[in-house]
Structure 1
């Protein structure tokens, strides 16, 4: 559905006496140079997107991508317009899960159309914040694109910070003295980091091009604002790369810790077996029923056998204790 639509003139929203769905009347509200329309849609059906496509003469291939969603972040040029795909991210801490959405943007000389899928990135907030900065909004559709990308990249930073906290928890758990099983959570976090990387990395080149004014249709005056977005995006990318490296190191440390624990368990088991085997050996020897055998007729033979068992067990226990096996 169409969430909101408006005409902007010199950075100020122009009041129009029509509904948000009356696209042709809204488009007719552009009467002065520099005016532009901002239309926001949320998971539109084919009929709704077709009305928008006709009103703004959008390329059918880009319209198809915007409806079907599930695109990778990209920047494409069509005759008279740009098509930009952005991934939205938010973090569900209790499940260690990064959820994703998508925003597709059509950008023309006098219009910007946003198509949102999923729950991430409230574009209405971006619109309201930008309307409070008329000097920026006066730059045209490129200013609206800046506000959207800035909001999305800010959410990337929130997700990266949440992942940092979880990776810190993993490191503390792996190197603690307690016996923990962290392999499954490490794998889950690496998978979620890969999800973030798929959203962040393809966006770096388009943001760089916006920041140096290499994209036709985006005024060079807006490049200063995109530089800030590009800088934040690079920072998120570097954070994600470092977290991935830390998780790989934590996984290797976890495997090494498991191996050490298994060795310690085997040593304890071996020590326990030795404490049982030696007395059993003595008892086995003195339990053999041979007539001609030393100590069988000796009155102190039984106490001597018990004492020998106790002495051997005590000696082994002291030895294993000093060796760290017990």
Structure 2
């Protein structure tokens, strides 16, 4: 699918007929293009558009390069990032003269919100460079929102771990299983955002060199530097969240080990407490003909007393030592 935009009083306006407005078009957005659509755009801008396989290559030379006076930049962006499993796919930005061409196979939120905002308000989008920078700003803002949401949810997980009010052991075990699942989901989300920020950081550095060649683009250079600083700041924040998630994972496993040790301790204490009474009962349960207490009148009460005393003494000793 092809969407074409023209500049109209520093605003973007969608046009339905690309060929009829090809001289005025400043942004061409390709969503899952067919080979015929790719060929038509390549003939229009005079630059080969990367295929999906080429976009997915991880080498920097395959993602950031110049060709025939045009600049091709590819970054990995998330889509459907309101959940914990965003769809991560590459998006290619092609600066061809005064035009911007974007190629994508999924729908990041910025590609839906930015055109609407640029159509309603004056964003200064008059060329491919200004559109690209404004679009990157929207993408960085979206990534910041995703990280902020993840940070709040990490705080909630921390409270569930360290401020749990559940007393029943089986319920606590189920809660910790849920917490482990949530921690894994947040780690996966944050790591994907980190990967996206890394590609954007490289793209911003490449774009800074491109914009620096324009002697009239002082304002654009400043905006690109701001994008680069924001990306670095978000990357640092994502790294901090990763460390916190790792700590929460270790803490959760530690809490599970503490609970398991407490259960084992109770079982061990119970075994020690009931061992002496069992020994007394075993002794007086032997079937020998000659046993001094066998026909004694107080033999039965004495055996019961010994069993109770042998159980109480270890229990009292454990309580005094603080082991219970």
Q: TM-score, structure 2 length as denominator?
A: 0.83
Q: 1:217-236 deviations in whole A, cap 9, x for unaligned? A: 69333122223322321221
2:191 corresponds to 1:197: no
Whole-angstrom CA distance in 2 between matches of 1:152 and 1:211: 17
Whole-angstrom CA distance in 2 between matches of 1:2 and 1:214: 27
1:284 — aligned with what?
Answer: 282
1:227/1:130 CA distance change after superposition, 3 Å: farther
Shift of 1:209: 4.8
2:294 corresponds to 1:296: yes
Matches within 5 A, 1:218-229: 219-229=217-227
2:253 — aligned with what?
Answer: 255
Shift of 1:92: 4.0
Shift of 1:9: 6.5
SS of 2:22's partner is: helix
1:187 — aligned with what?
Answer: 184
Q: Which moved more, 1:254-263 or 1:206-215?
A: 206-215
Whole-angstrom CA distance in 2 between matches of 1:124 and 1:306: 81
Asked if the contact 1:7–1:37 (Cα under 8 Å) also holds between the matched residues in 2, the reply is yes
Matches within 5 A, 1:12-27: 20-23=16-19, 25-27=20-22
Q: 1:17-67 deviations in whole A, cap 9, x for unaligned? A: xx63433x32234xxxxxx622222211111111011111112xx4324x8
Task: List gaps (5 residues or longer) in structure 1.
Answer: 30-35
1:32 — aligned with what?
Answer: none
Shift of 1:132: 5.1
2:240 — aligned with what?
Answer: 242
Shift of 1:172: 2.3
Count of aligned positions = 309
Matches within 5 A, 1:142-157: 142-157=129-144
Q: Tell me the C-alpha RMSD between the 2 structures.
A: 2.9
Asked if the contact 1:11–1:131 (Cα under 8 Å) also holds between the matched residues in 2, the reply is no
2:35 — aligned with what?
Answer: 46
- Residue number among 97, 113, 138 corresponding to 1:109 in the alignment: 97
